[in-house]
Homo-oligomer: A and B are copies of this chain.
Amino acid sequence: MMDDPFQALRKMFERYAPIPDAEWELFRPALRPEKIEKGKVWIEIGQDGDAIAFLLKGLMRNYYVMADGNEYTRAFRAAGQFVASYSSALSGEVSQCAVEAVEDCEVLTFSYREFKRGFARHACWERIARVIGEEMYIEYQKREYELLCMDALTRYEAFQSRYSSLHDRLSQSLIASYLGITPVSLSRLRGKRARKDF
């Protein structure tokens, strides 16, 4: 039962506040298990971004697509984390960023509109939403710091420590798109550092 996906999500939520069984039973039907295959764009730019996914397996990313086709990755998400166009879910506006599966994924999805209904019923839901929001804020503030204050090489090193377990699951062009540089440039950085290291 430890690997019942519904239980995994409940456990995740309950890191922030206990959920009474009655409340859980009310929320549970809102959950939909889904498989998302590698390469599939789960949330498209300009579409509704109300859906939130809890990742059970696989790897996903949030990214922007520029007019010239260039992509910039906001974040990677692995099993045990939430995936969403969070700003879009919060604001109700269409999504500015896309979300796609980097590997074959299994997720549990639900609607944030649906989730918010709980706020009026029981305090646990608002508590959970608040703390998750705060954690996301802290995460993106670190990211903002990196982008504002660090050069590409330092950002790469920060990436390696933050996402150390993901490093080998990602292609260099994906890593480059996260760092805000080109794959060519990342390759150069790697070469430069390898030469320095000995």
Interface of A with B (CB < 8 Å)? 64, 66, 72, 74, 86-87, 90-91, 96, 119, 123, 126-127, 129-130, 133-134, 136-138, 140-141, 143-145, 147-149, 180
- Docked complex Cα distance between A90 and B133 (Å): 11
Which residues of chain B are near A180, meaning CB under 8 Å?
147-149
Query: What are the 5 A-B residue pairs with the smallest beta carbon separation, nearest first?
Result: A147-B147, A130-B130, A133-B133, A90-B134, A87-B141
In the complex where A127-B126, A133-B133, A144-B140 touch, is A149 in contact with B87 (Cβ < 8 A)?
no
Partner of A86, one of B96, B129, B137: B137
Which residues of chain B are near A72, meaning CB under 8 Å?
148-149
Which residues of chain B are near A123, meaning CB under 8 Å?
123, 126
- Docked complex Cα distance between A134 and B72 (Å): 23
- Docked complex Cα distance between A87 and B138 (Å): 5
Partner of A148, one of B64, B87, B133, B136: B64
In the complex where A72-B149, A74-B148 touch, is A133 in contact with B137 (Cβ < 8 A)?
yes
Which residues of chain B are near A148, meaning CB under 8 Å?
64, 72, 74, 147, 180
Which residues of chain B are near A130, meaning CB under 8 Å?
126, 129-130, 133
Partner of A141, one of B126, B129, B138, B140: B140
- Docked complex Cα distance between A72 and B149 (Å): 7
Of listed A66, A74, A134, A180, residue having the most chain B CB within 10 A:
A134
Can you identify 9 A-B contacts, CB atoms within 8 angstroms? A64-B145, A87-B138, A90-B138, A123-B126, A126-B127, A130-B133, A137-B140, A140-B141, A147-B148
